[in-house]
Amino acid sequence: MEADFVIVGAGSAGCAMAYRLSEAGASVLVIEHGGSDIGPFIQMPAALSYPMNMSRYDWGYNSEPEPHLNNRRLVVPRGKVIGGSSSINGMVYVRGHAMDFDTWAEMGADGWAYADVLPYYKRMEHWHDGGHGGDREWRGEDGPLHVSRGPRRNPLYHAFVDAGRQAGYETTGDYNGEKQEGFGPMEQTVWRGRRWSAANAYLRPALKRPNCDLVNGLAQRIVIEEGRAVGVEIKRGSSTQVIRARREVVLAASSINSPKLLMLSGIGAASHLAEHGVDVIADRPGVGANLQDHLEVYFQIASLQPITLYRHWNLISKAVIGAQWLFTKTGLGASNQFESAAFIRSRAGVPYPDIQYHFLPMAVRYDGQAAAEGHGFQAHVGPMRSPSRGMVTLRSSDPAEAPMIRFNYMSTERDWKDFRACLRLTREIIGQEAFKPFAGKEIQPGADLQSDEELNGFIAEHAESAYHPCGTCRMGRADDPNAVVDPQARVIGVEGLRVADSSIFPQITNGNLNAPSIMVGEKVSDHLLGRDPLQRSNAQPWVHPDWEVAQR
């Protein structure tokens, strides 16, 4: 069992690399612990709350008790299936703001500014505007990853955008194009009614080539000989074997499992490795540090009209929707229902959006567990750039044991200030004329919660992860002691080993992380092949002309 490249993890970035490396003629073996993604729970977009709660498809991780969130343990779903988290996520497609990537470059990720990454976004996309407008010259039209828009038939999707406009905010026809800031349609990785995961977009076509194969097993450690990674030790059933790499080993196992694997292999903070009896190969204190995520709350409003998805919240209706989807791939089952979005700035002096909205014409938890009583709608809202940082560490040296995940959410005063701003700005938007025919009482937080203290109490009890963990193998310059990989994604201090997934993000990007994770796989595949990067873009993104003095 050997190949030119051995990739650990058939997730968003891993699938993209398997496709590009095999397309170039290199032999590739992809190691994946999870199984098949065949079946309606994954493939049907509207069933998105199921796979992330099924142990068959999810690693089942939880955070340690979070001290600033009433010691709650938050769930940390990560895909354990081909396609990785792109097979269990909400299918929302957000590239990130141009200034996110310029910040990466300033933090030492040379060659990862927006001008550098935009050509990779265009290469990976097959964009369908659905007649809703958008920025064609900013988008890709022949890549493997189909990106579409929902039909937006429910009047609430339009009420949300109209209310934003009435409150004085910008609108945008394409937040993934020139202008992210504003209210407009949301995009999804759905194609012809099916979840268009990285497995469907990249891995299936790659596996049809004779030089690409999938190996099922649990990666236990990277085999390093004389300072060079030469393979990966995996466990299959009761036996252990080594998959050897002739050229390089690439970790694409997620922001949780990539740092865990590095630590199990002797790459990490020397003192922490010593605690667990792991021999140190490279003392890199940044491994597992710099953990970031997005937190959000579900701002829920009762609906005065019976037009929400609540009318389908019964077994008969679900069966009808499921049957229509199974036979025709159309109907409500064919969308993730996140069809309107917004990105706004919390205050004057913030140069680009730091608040995101997902709008849903139903009041329900993300995990599908609790629907609010009767008809309602909700906006998921939260700050984009929390200053809080957490860490992933080993629980033990046993590869089968889950790591310890501490996000350290809401650990600064700025976190609380930003979150309260989110809630108050949302109330103002819901109070606009466009929502008058629809908006009843505030279910959550509840209109009686007004003071800073009351809102803080609500946040501590109800904030949930948006499931965007990243940053734990941070990219930076080779002489940066806290960087884990250099700007070509090479692990500093070990030859023949790279990391390519959301763990290399120096700072979390605006919005959902699936698109930038795939982009990382696309770009790192060029580095692996020794190719020149794609030609930089000259596109100039929109920035609010009065950002220094105006909030909207």
pLDDT at 373: 74
- Answer yes or no: do 230 and 318 share one domain: no
Within-domain flag for 539 = no
Residue 537 counted as domain residue? no
Q: Strand pairing of 125-127 and 282-283?
A: unpaired
The answer on pLDDT for 475 being more than 70 is yes
Q: Is 468 a catalytic residue?
A: yes
What is the mean pLDDT of the segment spanning 101-123? 98
**Are residues 96 and 42 part of one domain?**
yes
CA distance 50 to 42: 8
Domain span including residue 429? 151-185+295-383+411-462
Q: Please indicate, yes or no, whether residues 345 and 423 belong to a single structural domain of this protein.
A: yes
Tell me if 181 sits within 8 A of 355, measured CB to CB.
Answer: no
Q: Cβ(8)–Cβ(232) under 8 Å? A: yes
Give the CATH number for residue 132: 3.50.50.60
362 in Cβ contact with 309 (< 8 Å): yes
Is residue 461's pLDDT more than 80? yes
Tokens 């795939």 -> residue: 518
**Is residue 112 exposed (0-12), middle (13-18) or buried (19+ Cβ within 10 Å)?**
buried
Q: Considering the domain boundaries, does residue 212 fall inside one?
A: yes
Total domains in the fold of the chain: 2
What CA–CA distance (Å, rounded) separates 518 from 252? 11
Looking at the predicted structure, is the pLDDT value of residue 450 above 90?
yes
Closest CA to 379 of 537, 183, 118, 520: 183
For residues 425 and 283, state if they share a domain: no
pLDDT at 364: 85
Report the distance separating Cα 278 and Cα 315, nearest Å: 52
Quick one: which of 17, 479, 421 has its CA closest to 206? Answer: 17
* Distance separating alpha carbons of residues 140 and 119, to the nearest angstrom: 9
Cβ-based neighbour number of residue 277 at 10 Å:
8
Two tokens, residue 142: 């022949």
Other CB atoms within 10 Å distance of the CB of residue 292: 25
| Residues 127 and 3 occupy one common structural domain | yes
- Tell me whether residue 552 is in a domain: no
Evaluate whether residue 548 is within a structural domain. no
Domain boundary pick from 423, 446, 462: 462
Give the rounded percent of residues in the chain with a pLDDT score beyond 90: 95
- Give the pLDDT of residue 129: 84
Instruction: Provide the pLDDT for residue 367.
Output: 67
What is the C-alpha end-to-end distance of the chain, expressed in Å? 58
Of 302-306, 371-375, 474-478, give the lowest mean pLDDT range: 371-375
Q: What is the mean pLDDT of residues 47-57?
A: 92
Considering the domain architecture, whether residues 36 and 173 belong to the same structural domain is answered as: no
Q: Is the pTM of this model over 0.95?
A: yes
In this prediction, residue 390 carries a pLDDT of 98
d(CA 26, CA 3): 8
The CATH number for 360's domain is 3.30.410.40
User: Taking residues 327-333, what's their average pLDDT?
Assistant: 96
366 pLDDT exceeds 70? no
Q: Are residues 89 and 207 in the same domain?
A: yes
**pLDDT at residue number 128:** 95
Question: What integer pLDDT is reported at residue 36 of this predicted model?
Answer: 96
Cβ neighbours around 133 below 10 Å, total? 14
| Residues 415 and 343 grouped into a single domain | yes
**Lowest-pLDDT range, 132-141, 209-218, 239-248, 453-462?**
132-141
Average pLDDT of 354-362? 97
Q: What does the DSSP assignment read for 195-261?
A: E--HIIIIIHHHHTSTTEEEEESEEEEEEEETTEEEEEEEEETTEEEEEEEEEEEEE-SHHHHHHHH
* Predicted local confidence at residue 371, as pLDDT: 65
Residues 216 and 314 in one domain: no
Query: In b/e form, how buried is each residue of 398-407, taking b as 16+ CB within 10 angstroms?
Result: ebeebbbbbb
Q: What is the DSSP letter of 34?
A: S
Specify whether 11 is located in the same domain as 84.
yes
Residues 6+ apart with CB under 8 A from 320: none
pLDDT, tens digit, 9 for 90 and up, residues 482-541: 999 999 999 999 999 999 999 999 999 999 999 999 999 999 999 999 999 999 999 999
Residue 368, pLDDT > 70, answer no
Does residue 84 sit within a domain? yes
* Proportion of the chain above pLDDT 70, given as a percent: 98
**DSSP letters for 367-429:** TS--B-SSSEEEEEEEES-----BEEE-S-S-TTSPPEEE--TT-SHHHHHHHHHHHHHHHHH
Residue 543, domain member (yes or no): no
Same domain? For 452 and 343 the reply is yes
- Give me the catalytic one of 146, 294, 468, 544: 468
Per-residue confidence (pLDDT) for residue 183, from 0 to 100 = 98
**Would residue 549 count as lying in a domain?**
no
Distance CA 13, CA 10 (A): 8
List phi, psi (to 5°) of 20. -70, -40
pLDDT at 372: 67
Greatest C-alpha distance within the chain: 70
Residues 157 and 135 placed together within one structural domain of the fold: no
